[in-house]
Structure 1
Amino acid sequence: MDNDGYDYDYDCNDTMECICEINTGTEVTVQVYVHSCICVLGLLGNLMVIVTYAFYKRAKSMTDVYLLNVAIADVLFVISLPLIIYNETYNWTMGRWACKILRGMYSINLYSGMMLLACISSDRYIAIVQARRSYRIRSRTLIYSRIICSGIWLFAIAVSIPTIIYNETYDNIDLISNQTMSICYLKFEENETAQRMKILVPSIQVAIGFFLPLLIMGFCYSSIIYTLISAKNFQKHKAVRVVMAVVVVFIACHLPYNVTLLYHTLSLFHERECEVEKTVNKALMITETLAYFHCCLNPVLYAFVGVKFRNHFRKILSDLWCLGKKYIYRRSSRSTEVYISTRKSMDGSNNENGSSFTF
């Protein structure tokens, strides 16, 4: 989901000119349009989840609380994404603190979103695999889930502190246009700090933001699948397909980027040919877009696949349709009243026995 994170190129200079060339032209244009679509879809889907929990469905279980927090994290992510994309494409004009806040929010939502997905898998594991023992644990669901969610958000903030500290705005020369641009990027005062952080930050991102949730989800969902298959029930087998879809989509969206980022990090301080560097950076650009797309699929996979949630979704659409009809009716009624009063005044001025029009 994030990219604090997702941009680990060296600064543009004479020795690394080949890297900078891939960040301009057609690739950037396509990236902007694709990310814009992701923002729109992600915002609509996750806002639907938030609206459903706010007005139509109370969060009664741990999974409900986790889903609501995942939707909030994804909304914050898609809100910050277009601002970062725009300012990276053109010029950073929002100042130093905006740079730190946006980059930090980006990173916080990555870690919180991933860990919350792991929590959802853990809750389903307890409810299905440990069903007999889960009553005591799940009897105080809202208390436990709120404590866990608060801990996850605090942990995400703590892990994102290096991102907030070291992202700064500074001027850089664009080798293509030969113009000075203000950018928001990682900046270090000492080479030793730069080397440490350029390895530490992406390594933590890959380890905590992907592999740890993947291990938790892999264990929980494999146990769930085994339990459901043993149940020999049609509805249970239908649930197996949903679980498989969740796991496959998660891996398909995030594995390519994290493998590419891991390779890029391991070879960061080794000399590579310019064409190889271009290929790696293009791969990062493509795979990060695929990772972003997961925020659009979260509402579908975790919320709208449920029958009750789909019914709430239909209720939202029905209410929006009714509100739209009421608004149109009121506008048309006001227009009619204005038309009638105008005709009355006109007829009264031209005819002493002015008639009134009724419908």
Structure 2
Amino acid sequence: MEVELHGLFEENTTFDYENYDTKNICPSSTVSDALAVFMPLLYSVGFLWGLLGNGLVLAILWLKMLNLGVMDIFVLLLSVADTLLLLTLPLWAVDAVKGWVMGTELCKLSGFLFEFNFYCGIFTLACLSADYYLSIVHGVQLFSRKKPRSVYGCCLIICVLCLLLCIPDLIFLSGSTDQSNQECMHHYRPDSWRLASRLPHLVVSVVLVLLFCFSIILLKLRHSSKCQQKKKGQSIAIIAVLILVFFLCWTPYSITFIVNTFQSKDGDSSAVEGDCEGRQWTASKIKAVFGLLHCVVNPVIYFCLSQEFRARVLNVIKFNACEMESNDVSLWDSSEVNGNASVQEKQGSLQHMNDIKQIIKTQDHYI
């Protein structure tokens, strides 16, 4: 039986795939144009909102400066690091539209603050979680409110360590001179320095995973009897949420950073070569957005989970900061009161009952 072939089946040819060259598939112009509009808008909103949120955190801690607790000092360090990273968001907004046209100096500064925020966040949260874990489980306090110098000394060590770990970024980061594709990227000369310079980020990324596991342990300890006796449930919840949010924001970038370290051989932090025209939105650049915008989230966590912090924010907004009777009250544990101080909201609700009891005692005395 013979089959007649027509149309596409009439010509049967073979193709030699040995000499076939594969080319990098670049993002479509539609996607690139959409990202070029959306990313600057996102950076602008994050910049304004982050300055407002972190500004309120710094203002409240400034009003409480003479009586800072252990967690207050670490939160102050986190807020300063977040504010410094926020100042670079306008640069990344310009980069999203025109490429990196700001020069090598600003490229080094932006990359330095980006990595500094990453390291500072991990080490600060690690110190906080370790202190609360040891105080609840073993009754040992790494830091004490009575000895604030030890806390300030620990923050100083964290800052110095972060500065040392960020030195490779100051050395190898530079702005690309290619007019068609201007990027702020790492240039390793020679290429043997590539793995050595990226090793600190790879090691600290492992600490990030351990810190995530530690946050799960803290959440389980929150409901234990020891934690309830020490009245640290609210502060532990805040620390655990801070760690979880930090993990969600920085892990995508860290994963792409690790993959890029062992895959790319050209010393470029981009995963796509420079054959495409226009902006190249690679995985590492898109996921770095989560790390950049992480500095906006922390004030929201404080406002949502801390009743005392929320009350003070409202007082500052209403320009009634002078009405706060005591700065001894912890911002992170509304039930933790030092000395004879008490929360202002509770005083207002109990004052009327105290007056009635005093009147009754006076009448009984005369009778």
Letter in 2 for 1:194: D
Distance change (3 Å), C-alpha of 1:32 and 1:320: farther
Deviations 1:189-236 (A, max 9, x none): x3xx23532x3444422431x3314414533x3443343323196987
1:70 aligns with 2:81: no
Q: Higher relative contact order at CA 8 Å, sep ≥6: structure 1 or structure 2?
A: 1
Shift of the 285–20 alpha-carbon distance from structure 1 to 2, 3 Å rule, reads same
Which letter does structure 2 place at the counterpart of 1:224? L
Instruction: Tell me what 1:288 maps to.
Output: 288
**CA distance in structure 2 between the partners assigned to 1:56 and 1:311 by the alignment:** 14
Instruction: Name the counterpart of 2:48.
Output: 40
Contact 2:303/2:309 (<8 A) preserved: yes
Match of 2:265 in 1: 269
Answer yes or no: is the 8 Å Cα contact 1:217–1:247 preserved in 2. yes
Q: Structure 1 residues 240, 72: closer, same or farther in 2, change over 3 A?
A: closer
Which residue pairs with 1:340 in the alignment? none
Q: Deviation of residue 47 (structure 1)?
A: 1.2
Q: Structure 1: how far apart are the matches of 2:179 and 2:312?
A: 52
The residue that corresponds to 1:231 in the other structure is: 225
Query: Aligned pair 1:300/2:290, yes or no?
Result: no
CA distance in 2, matches of 1:299, 1:224: 21
CA distance in 1 between counterparts of 2:76 and 2:239 reads 19
**Which residue of the partner structure matches residue 251 of structure 1?**
247
> Which residue does the alignment assign to 1:196?
193
Unaligned runs of 5+ in 1: 1-14, 176-180, 323-359
SS in 1 for 2:264: coil
1:111, distance to aligned residue in structure 2 (A): 1.6
CA-CA distance at 1:149 after TM superposition: 0.8
Quote the residue 2:327 is aligned against.
Answer: none
Q: Alignment partner of 2:178: what SS?
A: strand
Check whether the contact 1:35–1:82 (CA below 8 A) recurs between aligned residues: yes
CA offsets 1:35-57 (integer angstroms, 9 cap, x no match):
22222222211111111111246
Which amino acid is 1:73 matched to? A
Q: Deviation at 1:299?
A: 1.9
Q: Report how many residues are paired.
A: 290
Percent identical across equivalent pairs? 21
State how 1:53-202 maps to structure 2 within 5 Å: 53-56=61-64, 58=66, 60-87=68-95, 89-90=97-98, 92=100, 94-130=102-138, 132-134=139-141, 137-174=143-180, 183-188=183-188, 190=189, 193-197=190-194, 199-202=195-198
Deviation at 1:316, TM superposition (A): 0.6
Report the alpha carbon displacement of residue 184 of structure 1 after superposing the two structures with TM. 4.0
In 1, distance between residues paired with 2:191 and 2:124? 31
Paired with 2:136 and 2:303, the residues of 1 have a C-alpha distance of 18
**SS of 1:185's equivalent?**
strand
CA distance, structure 2, for counterparts of residue 125 and residue 143 of structure 1:
21
Q: Cα deviations across residues 54-96 of structure 1 (Å, max 9, x unaligned)?
A: 1246452221111001000000001012224414642655444
Q: Distance in 2 between matches of 1:16 and 1:150?
A: 49
**1:49 and 2:46 correspond:** no
Q: Which structure has greater helix proportion?
A: 1
CA offset digits 1:271-306 (Å, max 9, x no partner): xx979x99x964333322223332122123346522
CA–CA separation in structure 2 for the residues paired with 1:94 and 1:283 = 22
Larger Rg: 2
Q: 1:284 to 1:184 in 2, by over 3 A?
A: closer
Alignment TM-score, normalising by the size of structure 1: 0.67
Unaligned runs of 5+ in 2: 1-21, 323-367
Corresponding residue number in structure 2 for 1:25:
33
- 1:317: which partner in 2? 317
Pick which of 15-24 and 221-230 moved more.
15-24
Cα offsets for 1:103-127 (capped at 9, x unmatched): 3233223222332122222232234
- Normalising by structure 2, what TM-score? 0.66
Mark the CA change 1:264 to 1:308 in structure 2 (over 3 Å): closer, same or farther.
same
1:212 matches 2:207: yes
One-letter identity of the residue aligned with 1:293: L
* Distance (Å, rounded) in 2 between the aligned partners of 1:151 and 1:167: 25
Change in 2 beyond 3 A, CA 1:119/1:304: farther
Residues 173-193 of structure 1, C-alpha deviations (whole Å, 9 max, x = no match): 316xxxxx5x543334x3xx2
CA RMSD of aligned residues (A): 3.8
CA–CA separation in structure 2 for the residues paired with 1:85 and 1:93: 11
Partners of 1:59 and 1:65 within 8 A in 2: no
Aligned partners of 1:202, 1:28: CA distance in 2, in Å? 29
